[in-house]
Each structure stands twice: as C-alpha cells, then as structure tokens.
Structure 1
Amino acid sequence: MKLFVAPMFCAGLVASALASAAEDWLPPLPAWQGSSEALIKGRADNWVTPAELTGLTDSPDYAATLAYMQALVDSSDWLQLEQFGVSPQGRALYLIKASKALHKIANNPARPLLLVQAGIHSGEIDGKDAGLMLLRDIAHGSKATLLDNADLLFIPILSPDGHERRALYNRMNQRGPLQQGWRATAQNLNLNRDYAKADAPEMQALLGVINQYQPDLYIDVHVTDGEDYQYDVTYGFNEPFAAISVNSASWLAKVYRPAVNTALEQAGHIPGPLVFGVDNKDFSKGLSGWTASPRFSNGYGDVRHLPTVLVENHSLKPYRQRVLGTYVLLQQSLKLLNEQGKALILARQADMQARPKRMTLSFKAAEQADVIDFKGISYELRQSAISGDSYVAWTGQPKLYPQLPVYWDKVADKEVAIPQAYWIPPEQQLVIQRLKLHGIAISVLDKPQKISLRQLSVSDYRFADKPFESRLMLTDASFDAAVQSRSLSAGWVRVSTDQPLGRLAVALLEPTAPDSFFSWGFFPGMFERTEYFEPYAIEPLIARMLAQQPALQQQFEQALAKDEQLRNNPRERYNWFYRQMPFYDQQYLKYPVFIEP
C-alpha cells in the first residue's frame, strides 16, 4: 500500500499561541460533542489528511492540498484529477472526478451528478477539508457505496489566489482554521457576486465545468457570520414559493432538506435555515428570508435550472465542528442522489422544458410573516464608550425564540412578459461572448432581414457613486418603449427564449433585472454623445424650424415655464431644439438590445 506523507505546513508553538489568543475577543463557546467526531483519522492512518494532522484546527496551503489530492487520485481507479482553469496569478484550478464509471460522468441520466465547490471565499474553507476526508473514505474506507449509483465532482479551492493570501488575522469574526485565506480574488473580485456578469477568470472556468458536465445538484460551501445562534450548519436555496425552477426547488424542500437535517441531527449537529435578523439589536423583531438573485450561486442555479444549495456554516463554531458537519451534509447528499437522484433529474427536466409566459425578475419581503421556533443565543445590549452607540454582546447561553416571525422575499417586485427573443448587434461582442460562456444558445443572421422589434430608451437613470465588484452599476433607470420595423444586416445575433436556458437569457438581457448586463454596466457607450453642435450652425437651423413649425414656439415656451434649468442655461435651450433635429444622435440613451415581442 502506498503511504501518503503529509508535507509540513504552517504550524508551530508561536502560531498556536496566537490562535488561542485570537479567540479571546469572540463570544463564549457552548460545549459540543457529536458522533461525527468518529470520522477523524489519527496520525497512524495511511491516508490521514493534512487538516486531520492538526485535529481539524488548521487547513493546508495550496501546495500541501494539491500534494494530498494527487497522491489520493493516484491511489484509486475511481478518482481522476482535472485542471479546468488558471487563476489571475497563474495557479491551476483543479477538480476531482469521483465515479465507478469515470468515462460516463458527464450527461449520464442513469447516474446523478453532484458538484461540490469549496473555497469560493477562501477564508471559508470548511468544504475543502471535509471533501478531502470524504473522498479518502470513499477510496480507502467504508464509503465506496456512495458511488454505486451517483457521481461526484469536487472543487477544493475555487479561489486559489485568495487561498494563498493566508494569515492569522484575516477574519476576526471566525473561529478557525488557524491560517485563513482571503475573501476576494487577486483581482479583488467576490466570486459569489460574479455568476451573472462572469468577469473573473475563475468564474468563467467554473461556468465551463457546469456546461461541460451538466451536474444535477450543486453545493456551494461557505461560512457565515453576524448573529450568534445554536445552529452550526445552516443552508438554503430559493424556496418553491419564489423559485424560477419550481420543480427542482420542491425536491430540495420536500426530499433534500428533511433527509439532510435528519443526518446532521443524528451526528450531533444542529442544522438550521439560512435566515438573517431583521434588526441585529432586537431579535424579537424577527428574521429575513432571502431569495437570491443570479449574481449568487443559489440564485444563478435557480435561474439556469441547476438545483443549488448554499451552505453557510456558522463562523463562531470551531473549525473542527464545522468541517465535520460539512462532511455529514456532503455524505448525505451523495447518499440521497443514490436513492432518489432520478426523481431530481426528472424535476430538472420539467423545469427546463417549461415555457412560462411571464417571469419574476426580483422579489421583495412579504408583509405577512411565517413563524418558526428559532434556536438562538441570548444576548445583552451594552453601551460602547468608543462608538457612543450600543452593541450586541452574545452570552453563549442557548435561548429558544418560539414562533419567531420570518419575512420571506416572496412577493414579486419586478415582473416581465417573456419575449420571443432578444436581438443583439454584432458590435456588442462582450455581451455575445458572455452569453456563450453561460451556455445560452444563439443564432447569427446570415442575410438581411426586416422585422418588427421593440426598442427601449432610457428616460432617467442613475449610476452608483462608487464601483462595486469593479463595475459602476446602474442603480435606477426608467424606460420608454417603441415598436418599430428594423432592417437588420447579416451578423445580428438572435437569442431565443424558447430554449432550456431561456429564463437565464431573460435575467441577463432584460435591462430591469437586478443582475442584467445592463444593470452591471455592460453598455457604457449608450450614455455618451460624441457629436455636438456649434451656435453658429444651430441658430439658423432653429430659426428655420420655428418658421416651418409655428407650434414649436409654444412647446418651447411651455418647457421653459416648467424647467428652471432650461430657463437659466443657454446651452440647454439649444439642446432642447437639438433633440428635435435629425442631426441628434439617434442611438443616445437607446438600449442596444432589441426585443422581439
């Protein structure tokens, strides 16, 4: 038997002492014990993981992780290592394929496929060490049956550059591991805000994996912070009452959640819903239940009919406890796919085949609340001499909040009739390439065509005051619409909504959608004018217009009476007439994507 010797990585007495001191500022920690602790292998085991060598208090660096992965893959015919991309700093992105039928792992309706992703925020690395332990137990332990009727893709580190920006002091709100990576990439992009716009090379590579392998269930492992509560593993997905993929969401709610909760509870963990306090100083006001938009993994999965579970382990629980809880969740997910995965495949197919006439683009919180018994932690409000304000101090003592209201995002906020198609001019190459990257089918016009299309004009808009995720977003915009007959030249691109990813196309191309390409600022050119007038040219033209159109003088005077800026700004007076002339830029403030009703 080939033995694996773990490489040395960050440890030492000084670092251990610092880690111990680092917990002094965090709230008191309730004691925990669970049967999942039996999953940890000791030093004598041939395949003990680097994290287990520390008692699950630390996590290995990129090189040590890769060394363990390579040795494990080399030892098993069921595992295969694949590079699927490169980070901005030049680090390879890897996934491990786990299957008893490796040659049939993609698009196999007989074998449900689970995609597990860790390290999208590399300071939140629980999933990496849990996944390596589970793969070890599949290849060299008692968990081989998990691959009898299901397959696994495992991405241990999606953000390797952030992973290697390791330090003892990256995350003050989180208990372990000792060395923690950084939340953002080397380009300072948050990958879990990048699914729709797909700016980051890491995200573009991930979308390639999704398109190539077409997984049936997607699990994205994070660590959350904020309020303290008893739950150590919280997770969520877009619920059936606010989901685009209703059939898949129903499977997650009715089949997945009860099975995973039971497995976690039996292992000594406390699973909970992915909710947030309405008022962080007054828990009695209730909770907010979130419906994610497509910039997030779970919102993106919903709109492209990929059932997606966002796992948010609780940051105040020890690393050991969080990793073991993640192991149990991943193990039960694979077990469930073995037993009931074909029902999920059928649910996905129903979602992909559905062709609704309308689509909700965003949701807002309901005024009427649901209620749950919430397993919280008691707290005190203390006055700060530093800030001058009060702050929450958690006591570490369990407290049940019975019948706590939960206000779910389930009321349609923005809604749209789904058009037949969107038409994109050939010069919009960035948008066209991003659509292809998402796997959306397009067709290119091979000869001129005349067609009736709707064009939107921006009547009012506002950009954000500062960049967000390296883009200046449109925070507000109003549109006027006009239907006109257009002569399109060869090269125009048609994006039909009559396709499996039709609703993803709507989410990206409907400008009022929260994560559309328009909202993310992909069309800056439409907000700029490059041709102007000189007074010596426009004065005689205005005189000619007024002579030919007597009513224009009255319209101008009415506008003067209503608009103070027009009365006080000579240039704006010229502009008022300029906008009535054929010389005016007819593409200014016109959304360049046309809509086929």
Structure 2
Amino acid sequence: MSSHTDHTTAFITPYEAGNQNQTTTWQACIQFYQDLAAQFPNVLQFSQIGVSDNGKPIHAGIVTADGVFERERIKQEQRTIFFNNNGIHPGEPEGIDACMALVRDFCIQPERLTALGKTVFLFIPVYNVDGCLNRQDTSRVNQDGPEQFGFRGNSLHLDLNRDFIKCDSENAQVFNRFFSEWSPDVMVDTHTSNGADYHYTMTLIQTQADKLGYGLGPYLRNTMLPAIYTEMQERGWPTCPYVNPVKDSPDHGIEDFLETPRFSTGYAALHHTIGFMPETHMLKPFADRYASMRALVETVLAFTTANGAEIQALRAQAREAASQQQQAAVHWVADHGQASSFMFKGYQAVYSPSVLGNYTRLSYDRSQPWEKAIAYYDHFVADITVTQARAYLIPQAWRAVIERLQWNGVQMQRLEADTSLQAEVYHIQSVQSRSHAYEGHMFHDDVQLLPTSASVIAHAGDYLVPLDQPAARYIVETLEPQAHDSFFRWGFFNSVLEKKEAYSDYVFEDTATDILNTEPEVKAAFEQWKQENPGLLSDQQAVLDFIFSHCARFKEPEWRRYPVLRIMH
C-alpha cells in the first residue's frame, strides 16, 4: 500500500464507511489504531495505559512528526503537548470518530504531519471503555443520532466527568497519573450538549478565565478564544459560548459554566493547563456534529502549535506564582454586576399550556429566528480566599488522600521522627450536605470552619507537603475544605464528623446538671441555645446532646477536627 488512495481506503473509519450516522464500536476503534500504528510506526505510537473497573484496557496514542515518543525526551526538549480526550461520555461520540480520521490523516498526509512541527498530539481514543461497550440507542433522550452509541456511566454507574478529584474509578486513577506525567499544555475533551435550541452546531466551554487566573486567564480570554471563534467562523462552523441560560432561555442571558475540578477542564486547571470542552448541539445531525468537532480540534491544535512557546511560558509563570502567593482563592462565583455581550442567534421561546399537566411548557419556534446581543456573564470573582500555608501536614492514616496527591505528582516529605510543630487547625463548625447521593458520595455543599493555632506532635511516617512546588494549586484546592471540590467536600474525612462515644440519658441527666454548675462557658452557651430553641426544651435528647457535645469533661479532641494541618511558618 503505497499510494494516498490505498491508505485512505485501507484505513476508512466506520463513520466514513457508513451513512454518516454511525459511530465506531470500541473493538473496531482500538483495532483501527493498532493497525495504523503497525503501518506507520514513525508517526503513531499506540499502547495500553491502564485498565477500567471492568478489567478492559484503556489506551492512549502519541503522534509526532519526527518519531520521538519518549516522554522524558519530549519534556526535556520542552515540546508543546496537545491532548485530545474522547469518549468520557460514549453517548456523545463524535470526538471518538473525528479523532480516528485526524490521526489517520496525520499518517497519510505528509503536509498535515509536517505542520505539527515539534508539537506532540497526545490522545485517549475512548476514555470510558466500559460505557462504550454498553452499546444501545435509547439513553440519549433528545439527541439526533448516531444510530447506536455507548452509555454515559461506567461499569460502576459513575459519570467519569465528575470523578477527576475523588477518583472512585480505575479510569480516573489512570487518568490522574497519565495527565500528571505528561502535563499537557492544552486539552480538548469532546462532548455533546443538552439544553436550549439555537442555530449553532458547536458551543464551547473553556476553562473559566478568571478561575484559571495568573497570566493564563487573560491570555485565554483576550487572545486564544477570539482566535478560535474567528477561525471556526471562517471554517463554516460559527461557535458560541456554551449555552448556560441564567433563566429558562438564552434570551435572558447566558453564564460561563464554572467547571470545577470534578470536571476535566477544571481538573486540568489545577495543573495550569488550558482546557476546552466543546459541546456540539444535540439537535443537530450527527454528520454536522462530527464535522464541527473535527474543525474545533484542528483549530485549537493549530493555535497551540503556533503559540506553544508562549503558552508554556505562561504556564511556568503560573506554577511559580501559585507556589509563592500570599492569598489563595479556593471558591468562585459569577459576577452578575459585570456582564459582557454576545451577538447570539436563537429561536423564539414559546410558552404554552402543557397537554400532560397543569403547567406551562417551553418550546422554541424555528420559524421565528432572531439575532441580537444578549448578556454574557463571563466574569467570576473569588468569594472564598485563604492565607496560603507554607506546608500541610497529613497524618499517614489518611492513605486515600495521600495516594491521590501522589498520582498528581505532588512532592511530599515523610517524617523520620516524631516532631513538634506549630500549626493552624481547622475545626468544622457546620456542614450542609446533599440529601441524596451524588456520584456515590454525600457531597458537602457548604462548610464553615473555625481556625485555631495549636502545638501538635507530627509522628514518624506522617507527610509534610510543602507549597513551594509546581503542584501547589492542586494541593491547595484539594486540601482546603472550602474549595469547590476538596477532598473534604467529597467525604474523604467524614469519620471526623462523628462523635465516637455516647451516654445513657438516665445517668447523664445528673452529670449534665453538674457540668452546667462547673463549666460556665457551657452554661452560657446553653442559656443562649434555650432562648433560640424554645421548642426543643421538651426534647430530652436535644437538651442532653447540646451539653454533651459542648462540655470539656467528655471532650473528644478529634471530633470535628480537620486532620490535615496548616503549617504557616
């Protein structure tokens, strides 16, 4: 097979071979890449990087113009790394199929390969392997094709685009290690959207620029995004920001999607990687979604290739700044007092009585298109900041937390002897948690803390985690309890919220009276509680629980004490 035509025929994808409404199976996808790598070993290296929860292999590929695939050499030579992740939601598969054709074209089109220069094209063909194998045509309720597709959940029924911090899945554990080892400069993670109706086939979530911060955020907002939007327009795929209406329809304005670290782009931001989550519109034909997705990946790749050195320099500056800053933002909210404007092409929102129930339903009338400027809330502000510690101390017992830090390249020092340290200790004043399970956890939506200083003994084997290192941002936003997707919010420290000892009420009734006579602080707090909760005075357990939980006589020092300590000096 020596000609361009022969190679194209030999490596035609299932999408191209069908009626443009087909997506590949996982088996056909992997075989395609294996055959391609065997035929073009100097262009493509393709290998297994781990296994899924169902024991199926997870693969990754590397394309380079000069046949250099060794990660250490690539990093030593400071080559730009572009990462394309596909199939995290296999029911949204156009990225899987588009990546297959793009990698094939790198192999058979010399001019396309040459255009890569020194840039590395790194990709995962199908991240959620188990979901891709769960093939059917029913789960995507509102989507126009393809005829069959995979399922959103993996074999643990987890949404992997909520798992990047908690890492319940084998996939996420593999991904954390893989991403941290390669440290890509730019990532595109391909998706299909749900939501309103509008003209656009392609919508785009990017790392929220204010949250990304440092020099990277302004560069993304002012330089990279305008270039991407312009190029997509020129390629015939006008693109708009992800349609996240502030009310029920885009007419009232849209708001940036705050992609916290549970999501791929938010996770990437912890490593100072610029992330994009293209969301093609579910109501558009699969062929259009496929074509626009390939155009988007190629557009972002071309920009990355042309501007890689500048992006790398900004990332290095961000890593240094994050490790040395005095104040660290850990939580952001949209600034609705500062709206931008976007010229949006939509359809008339129509409200009419439902035939199913006694309510008004929303629909969109495509016979009434409109184009107008709408409010675009793309500015966010930090509403929770903390004074950055010099280091954190993690007791060795909290192994699940320690190993996740290790998967992300965090540098830690294990103490060789018991050591006395002055530390800032968080006590958990209150926690508001969801009333239902969320991705296998009872997520804590609100956390209130009381910091105090204390002299503590760190034991031999405990881990000291300095902030003066490249992984500083990942450390802060996982170990600070009030951060959006901290380990605490995901329930890794739930056992400290439970008091371990209890009382027998008929005995403790007399003890409680004695406590009020001997502990004036408790008596004062109890008097205030009685004034605030008169209805609970007839509830013996509520009365005794208050005294028991506030007294010094039966104090449990570890109760509601966050075990990760902040070393400030």
TM-score by length of 2: 0.91
Is 2:224 the counterpart of 1:256?
Answer: yes
Aligned counterpart, 1:372: 342
Tell me the secondary structure at the aligned position of residue 45 of structure 1. helix
State the shift of 1:152 in Å: 0.8
* Greater Cα offset, 546-555 or 322-331: 546-555
**What are the equivalent positions in structure 2 for 1:165-184 lying under 5 Å apart?**
165-184=134-153
Code of the aligned partner of 1:437: W
* Contact 1:42–1:52 (8 Å) recurs in 2: no
* Greater Cα offset, 455-464 or 93-102: 455-464
Aligned counterpart, 1:12: none
Residue 236 of structure 1 is aligned with which of 198, 201, 205? 205
Aligned counterpart, 1:430: 400
* Contact 1:306–1:348 (8 Å) recurs in 2: yes
Is 2:118 the counterpart of 1:149?
Answer: yes
| Inter-partner Cα distance in structure 1 for 2:564 and 2:405 | 13
Residue 585 of structure 1 is aligned with which of 543, 553, 556? 556
Is 2:48 the counterpart of 1:83?
Answer: yes
Aligned counterpart, 1:71: 35
Is 2:169 the counterpart of 1:200?
Answer: yes
| Inter-partner Cα distance in structure 1 for 2:535 and 2:558 | 24
Residue 101 of structure 2 is aligned with which of 129, 133, 137? 133
**What are the equivalent positions in structure 2 for 1:221-370 lying under 5 Å apart?**
221-240=190-209, 242-280=210-248, 282-354=249-321, 355-368=324-337, 369-370=339-340
Code of the aligned partner of 1:395: D
Code of the aligned partner of 2:51: V
| Inter-partner Cα distance in structure 1 for 2:348 and 2:524 | 69
Aligned counterpart, 1:31: none
**CA gap 1:232/1:566 in 2 versus in 1, 3 angstroms:** closer
Aligned pairs, how many? 559
State the shift of 1:316 in Å: 1.4
**CA gap 1:500/1:384 in 2 versus in 1, 3 angstroms:** same
Aligned counterpart, 2:179: 210
Code of the aligned partner of 1:126: E
Tell me the secondary structure at the aligned position of residue 275 of structure 1. coil
* Greater Cα offset, 577-586 or 186-195: 577-586
Residue 113 of structure 1 is aligned with which of 73, 81, 102? 81
* Contact 1:298–1:308 (8 Å) recurs in 2: yes
Aligned counterpart, 1:32: none
Code of the aligned partner of 1:324: A
Aligned counterpart, 1:472: 442
Code of the aligned partner of 1:48: I
| Inter-partner Cα distance in structure 1 for 2:360 and 2:521 | 64
Aligned counterpart, 1:458: 428
Residue 417 of structure 1 is aligned with which of 383, 387, 406? 387
* Contact 1:225–1:315 (8 Å) recurs in 2: yes
1:169-225 deviations in Å (ceiling 9; x for gaps): 221211111112111111111111111222211111111111222211111111112
* Contact 2:181–2:409 (8 Å) recurs in 1: no
| Inter-partner Cα distance in structure 2 for 1:315 and 1:335 | 26
| Inter-partner Cα distance in structure 2 for 1:284 and 1:338 | 37
1:229-272 deviations in Å (ceiling 9; x for gaps): 122122132343x1334322333334432333333223221222
**CA gap 1:283/1:324 in 2 versus in 1, 3 angstroms:** closer
State the shift of 1:526 in Å: 0.8
Residue 362 of structure 2 is aligned with which of 387, 392, 403? 392
* Contact 1:455–1:591 (8 Å) recurs in 2: yes
**CA gap 1:373/1:449 in 2 versus in 1, 3 angstroms:** same
**CA gap 1:349/1:524 in 2 versus in 1, 3 angstroms:** same
* Contact 1:230–1:398 (8 Å) recurs in 2: no
Is 2:560 the counterpart of 1:594?
Answer: no
**CA gap 1:341/1:397 in 2 versus in 1, 3 angstroms:** farther
**What are the equivalent positions in structure 2 for 1:526-541 lying under 5 Å apart?**
526-534=496-504, 538=508
Code of the aligned partner of 1:453: A
State the shift of 1:463 in Å: 2.3
State the shift of 1:130 in Å: 0.6
Tell me the secondary structure at the aligned position of residue 308 of structure 1. strand
Aligned counterpart, 2:376: 406
* Contact 2:349–2:365 (8 Å) recurs in 1: yes
Code of the aligned partner of 1:122: P
**CA gap 1:484/1:375 in 2 versus in 1, 3 angstroms:** same
CA RMSD, Structure 1 to Structure 2 (Å): 2.6
**CA gap 1:370/1:551 in 2 versus in 1, 3 angstroms:** closer
| Inter-partner Cα distance in structure 1 for 2:558 and 2:312 | 45
| Inter-partner Cα distance in structure 2 for 1:562 and 1:244 | 43
| Inter-partner Cα distance in structure 2 for 1:178 and 1:43 | 27
Code of the aligned partner of 2:193: T
Structure 2's unaligned 5+ residue stretches are none
State the shift of 1:167 in Å: 1.2
State the shift of 1:536 in Å: 7.4
Structure 1's unaligned 5+ residue stretches are 5-40
* Contact 1:245–1:305 (8 Å) recurs in 2: no
Identity score, percent: 26
Tell me the secondary structure at the aligned position of residue 36 of structure 2. helix
Code of the aligned partner of 1:338: T
Aligned counterpart, 1:482: 452
Tell me the secondary structure at the aligned position of residue 272 of structure 2. coil
Aligned counterpart, 1:95: 60
